[in-house]
Amino acid sequence: MSGQLRYVVDRTRHVREILHASPSTALEMLVDARRDRGHAAAMPVSADELMSLQSGIIARRQLVSRGWADHDIARMLRRRLWASVFDGVYVNHTGELLWLQRAWAGVLFSWPAALTHDSALRAADGPGRRSADDGQVHIVVERDRRLVRAPGIELHRRRAFGKHVLWNLGPPRVRYEQAAIDVATSADSEYAAVAALSQAVQSRRTTARRMLSAMDERERLPRRQWVTGVLRDIDEGTCSVLEHGYLTRVERPHHLPCGRRQLAGVGKSGRIYRDVAYRLPLVVELDGRLFHDSTSARDRDFDRDLLAQVEGQLTTRLAWGQVFDRPCWTAAQVGVLLQQRGWTGAPMACGEGCALRG
C-alpha cells in the first residue's frame, strides 16, 4: 500500500473511531484528537470533515471547540451557506432536509442521545425501507434530563439507555431488537404490534429469539407477557400478522390440529414455504396482501398451490375477513375439511359467543 493511500485509510478509520469512541463524549473527543497512528494523528478533524460525517449537520459546541466564534457562524448563516435547524444546530444548505439530516439534527440537539423506536429501524433498514414517515424523529435520552421540546422530535426517556445503543453508527441508534420491541410495546393495537415484530424478523436483521433475549435486559416493559407469547409463536414459524391471527384466533382456541408452519419446498420460481401444512392432506395458505404484494411473491403463491395439488393435498386460501372478522366460522369450515380428510376430532367452541355453539 502506498504512503498516500495508507494515509487516507488511516485517516478515515481514525476519524470514525474517535467520533464514536464513547457514549458520553464521542462527538466532543474530535476536538483534541491526537493518537500515535502516524499521519492519522497529525491533524485534528475539521468542521467540514465533521459535517461530512454527520450528513451535513453540525452543532454549535462542535464548532466552538474548533475555534469558531459566534460571528463566524453568523456569517455562514447570513451568506445562506448554512441554515439553522434547531437552536445551536446547523445544516450546510438552505433547502429541505433529508430524513437522515433530520435524524442527525435531532441527535445533536438532544446530545447525548440516540435514535430509537421506528427511527432506529428506519436508519438500520436504509432508504429503501417501506414505511410511512410520520414526520417525527424518535430520540431517546436519559430519564432525568430536562430538554426543550423541539419541533419534529419525539423524546423518549429511559434510565441507562446507553447500554442498548450502537454508538459506532451514524447517527447513533438503539439496537435493532430493542427498537422493534419499543415499537411493538407502544403500538396502538395488537395488529400493529404483531406487524412490528413480524416485520423485524422478516427484515432478516434479527430473530424472535434475539428479541426475547433483548426483553430480558429490560426492567420495565409494557405488554411483556403478551409480546413474549407473540415472539414465541413467531419463533415457531408464524411470520406474518395474518399467520399469527390464524394461529391465535382460529386454530388454537378451537382445538384444531396443530399444523406445521413455513414448511419448505422447491417450486419453479425457487424455494417456497407453505404457511400451514397439516399432517392430513390439507394446506392452509394465508393470503394477506400486506406481505404478498409483488408479482414474484404472487407467482410463488401459485407455485405452492400447484405443488400441493400434485402431492394430493387440498389448498384453501384464507384472507383477513376469515381470520379477523369470522374466526369461529372459519374454524368450523377448516374442521369440516380436516374431517373429510381423516381427522377424527371436532373443533370446539372458544367461548360463550362462539359460532360453534349454534
327 lies in the same domain as 280 = yes
Q: What is the pLDDT of residue 42?
A: 39
Whether 7 contacts 40, CB under 8 Å = yes
Q: What is the pLDDT of residue 236?
A: 72
Low-confidence ranges of the chain (pLDDT < 50): 5, 7-9, 11, 14-43, 290-295
CA distance 278 to 259: 5
Domain end call among 147, 174, 201: 174
- Look up the pTM and report it: 0.68
299 lies in the same domain as 227 = no
Omega cis (within 30) before 327:
no
Q: What is the pLDDT of residues 185-222, one digit of tens each?
A: 998 887 788 888 888 888 888 999 999 999 998 888 88
87 lies in the same domain as 37 = yes
10 lies in the same domain as 106 = yes
Domain end call among 219, 235, 251: 235
Whether 143 contacts 120, CB under 8 Å = no
Whether 106 contacts 118, CB under 8 Å = no
Nearest residue to 203 (alpha-carbon basis) of 131, 139, 258 = 131
Identity at 188, one-letter amino acid code: D
Q: What is the pLDDT of residue 269?
A: 56
**Strands, sheet with 270-277, edge to edge from the N-terminal-most edge strand:** 260-267, 270-277, 282-286, 314-318
**Alpha helices for 126-283 (secondary structure H):** 176-185, 190-202, 208-216, 224-235, 241-245
168 lies in the same domain as 186 = no
Domain end call among 125, 152, 174: 174
8 lies in the same domain as 55 = yes
Map grid coordinates 433475549 to a residue: 213
**What is the 3-state composition of the chain as percent helix, strand, coil, each rounded to the nearest 5?**
45, 15, 40
307 lies in the same domain as 266 = yes
Q: What is the pLDDT of residue 203?
A: 83
Q: What is the pLDDT of residue 194?
A: 81
281 lies in the same domain as 211 = no
Q: What is the pLDDT of residue 292?
A: 45
Q: Which domain holds residue 107?
A: 3-174
Q: What is the pLDDT of residue 10?
A: 52
Mean pLDDT of the chain: 81
Question: What radius of gyration do the chain's Cα atoms show?
Answer: 26
Q: What is the pLDDT of residue 34?
A: 32
Identity at 225, one-letter amino acid code: Q
User: DSSP string spanning 259-273?
Assistant: PEEEEEEEETTEEEE
CA distance 115 to 165: 9
333 contact partners, CB below 8 Å, separation of at least 6: none
Q: What is the pLDDT of residues 142-156, one digit of tens each?
A: 999 988 888 999 999
CA distance 10 to 16: 10
Structural domains counted in the chain: 3
Whether 301 contacts 285, CB under 8 Å = yes
195 lies in the same domain as 337 = no
64 contact partners, CB below 8 Å, separation of at least 6: none
Q: What is the pLDDT of residue 308?
A: 58
212 lies in the same domain as 353 = no
248 lies in the same domain as 343 = yes
9 lies in the same domain as 19 = yes
Map grid coordinates 391465535 to a residue: 248
